[in-house]
A = this chain, B = another copy of it.
Amino acid sequence: MPESHHADIRSLDLFSEMEESNFKALMRGSYVQNFPQRIELIMEGESSDFLHVVLSGSVDLYSCWNDQETSMATIRPVSTFILAATIKDAPYLMSARTLEKSRIALIPSQDVRAIFDIDAAFARAIVNELAQCYRTVVKNTKDLKLRSSLERLANYLLRQHNKTGSSVIDLSMEKRRLASFLGMTPENLSRAFKGLSPFGVTVSGSQIKIGDVETLEAFAKPSVLIDNMQS
């Protein structure tokens, strides 16, 4: 892999603390590839030969069953995905496709497992990352099971607001994908936006404006145990 990408990967929590020699060993078998928009990177059920790192662009993780498809997560730079499958050497549970032109690093899974055993800092970083992923999915499940679609949308907007600090939110994805991520149909999302207008939410294209955060929070009732992205 070209040295130029090492810094990006090295800056990830997952790789920042490990021994330089082990990092170099990991990079030796790895390579970076550029993908156009809407390219299938992996299909669920396949075996997990590579740990993937999104260097630029973005990737959609999704799953299918019975001719339906649902969006599970969006991966943005610089993050890894399918770490669990890599660790367990088990089939992917989710498919992945690029949402836009993306640069992806591919690190052989067996190298990851091998270095894990000899580098304690790397091991600790991996376990931290996995624990983080686990907690994210648990929060997602709570969101799905305890909230209505209107409440899910309201809290999604508030999370985006907390992330960017701006009261104008750019969805930065198709509304149909947001709908799928939130577990509803595009039609329903459209109506949900309308349903939030009494709480000061206005829509213009992919720009969503939160008129008054307190009003929206009073409806959405965000919880640190569901909506806090850090812990």
Contacts and interface: CB of A to CB of B under 8 A. Distances in A.
A197 interface: no
Interface in A57-96: 63-66, 68, 70, 72, 83-85, 87-88, 90-91, 93-94
B66 A135 contact: no
Classify the interface of chain A: helix, strand, loop or mixed: helix
Nearest to A132: B88
A168 interface: no
A218 interface: no
Contacts of A137: 134, 137-138, 141
A90 B131 CA distance: 10
Contacts of A142: 63, 65, 70, 72, 93
A126 interface: yes
A65 to B, nearest CB: 4
Q: How large is the interface on A (under 10, 10 to 19, 20 to 34, 35 or more residues)?
A: 35 or more
A117 B120 contact: yes
Interface in A6-39: none
A140 B65 CA distance: 13
A176 to B, nearest CB: 15
Interface stretch (A102-110, A143-151, A188-196, A202-210): A143-151
Interface in A164-185: 183
Contact of A65 (B65, B128, B135, B223): B223
Nearest to A86: B131
A131 B68 contact: no
A1 interface: no
A13 to B, nearest CB: 12
A156 to B, nearest CB: 15
A221 B68 CA distance: 13
14 contacts: A63-B146, A65-B147, A70-B145, A88-B128, A88-B231, A91-B225, A91-B231, A94-B138, A117-B120, A117-B124, A127-B127, A130-B134, A137-B137, A141-B141
Interface of A: 44-45, 63-66, 68, 70, 72, 83-85, 87-88, 90-91, 93-94, 116-118, 120, 123-124, 126-128, 130-135, 137-142, 144-147, 183, 221, 223-226, 231
Report, nearest first, the 4 A-B pairs whose CB atoms are least far apart: A84-B131, A65-B146, A137-B137, A134-B134
